[in-house]
Amino acid sequence: MTSQVDVMSKFQAEQDTRKARRIDRHTVSAIAVFVLCIVLILASRLVSPSLGSWQQVLTVLTLASFLVVLSFGQGLVILTGGLDLSLPAVITLGGVLTTTWIGNGPGAWYMLPFVLAICGGVGLASAIGIVWLKVPPFIMTMATSIIVSSAALGLTNGTPRGASPDVLLLLMKGSWLGIPAPVYFLVIFAVVGWIVQSRTVFGRYLYALGTNRDAARIAGVPITLVSVLPYVISAVCAGFVGMMLVGYANGATLRMGDNYMLPSIAAVVIGGSSILGGNGNFAGTVGGAILLTTVGTVIAAIGLEQGLRTIIEGGIILVALLLLREELFERLRGLSGKPRSGG
């Protein structure tokens, strides 16, 4: 008993230390990302007079809403040390099922939760392979992606049919006080996501699991449940993004999720999260998603090809990984004049 209490005390002390560092590091990262977004939007006026306007800001926020929702689920998975590569396929599945089963007009809107439940089942299948069968997340989620993509192809015979239900058109095309509905949704989702990740017991469990699995188990964290839920939530988020895209484009395609794989990881990493798990902040992830969307908007305005956009996004990830290393923040703290221990 004494040994267990000692381990739990040591684990709590380690968590407190890491939390203090996260406050420093993640706050700085989130602020830096948002400042960079503002600078980029203002600087875009040098590229084209049509850029940098309030209308462009609203457009960027609307487009960023897809990536924010997707990155929330991906961020939870990364927080535990995993990675979900099935997101593009689940986005397509959510969109295809929405148009095929519900269709245009008022439709059977009550079927939307059922579609999300199916998408969550895909995430559960991935989690079972990862947690119980011990398949590496990279391999398991990639296999799931292939299976789901094939299922979507078979379901549609290569041509998705149907259009968006009215409820999704209202969500993605409506406006209030001159501001698009997706912007309101983005703000609400960002606040709720931040609370879930940073201010709930479940969120603390995720940090504990990603930091030290053995210590988390000794401390009483339900390892199996906390390992499974992030993949289920990630898949539900991906399915909902598919619905959002259906409402935005009034239809579905079999490749509608392909452009979101790299950005979903990039937004999390740029926001200050560690790809190895145990560190993360959803506020930073939101900033990363908005930054990537801003970059994509500027590139599209310039007329550059999609391949160059992917290269730029990859470069942003690399720079973020280099700049957000713990060693860099330790050096910055040393330069700020704080006394060093032992010296």
pLDDT at 328 over 70: no
User: Terminus-to-terminus CA distance in the chain, angstroms?
Assistant: 38
| Residues in a beta bridge with 180 | 175
Could you tell me if 145 and 88 are in contact, meaning their C-beta atoms sit under 8 angstroms apart? yes
Reference 79, options 191, 213, 187; nearest CA is 213
Q: What is the pLDDT of residue 18?
A: 55
Digit-coded pLDDT (tens) for 174-196: 989 889 999 999 999 999 999 99
* For the ranges 4-18, 199-213, 224-238, 322-336, the one whose mean pLDDT is highest: 224-238
pLDDT tens readout for residues 59-102: 999 999 999 999 999 999 999 999 999 999 999 999 999 998 88
Q: Supply the pLDDT for residue 72.
A: 96
pLDDT band at residue 336 under the 50/70/90 scheme: low
Q: Which domains does the chain have, with CATH numbers?
A: 33-326 (1.10.3470)
pLDDT at 207 over 80: yes
Q: Is the model's pLDDT at 288 over the cut of 50? A: yes
Higher pLDDT, 201 or 14: 201
pLDDT-wise least confident of 15-29, 98-112, 135-149: 15-29
Q: Give the C-alpha separation, 311 to 90, whole Å.
A: 24
The answer to whether the CB of 267 falls within 8 A of the CB of 251 is: no
Question: Alpha-carbon distance 138 to 322, whole Å?
Answer: 23
Is 343 or 317 the better-scoring residue by pLDDT? 317
Q: Which parts of the chain are beta strand (E)?
A: 175-176, 179-180
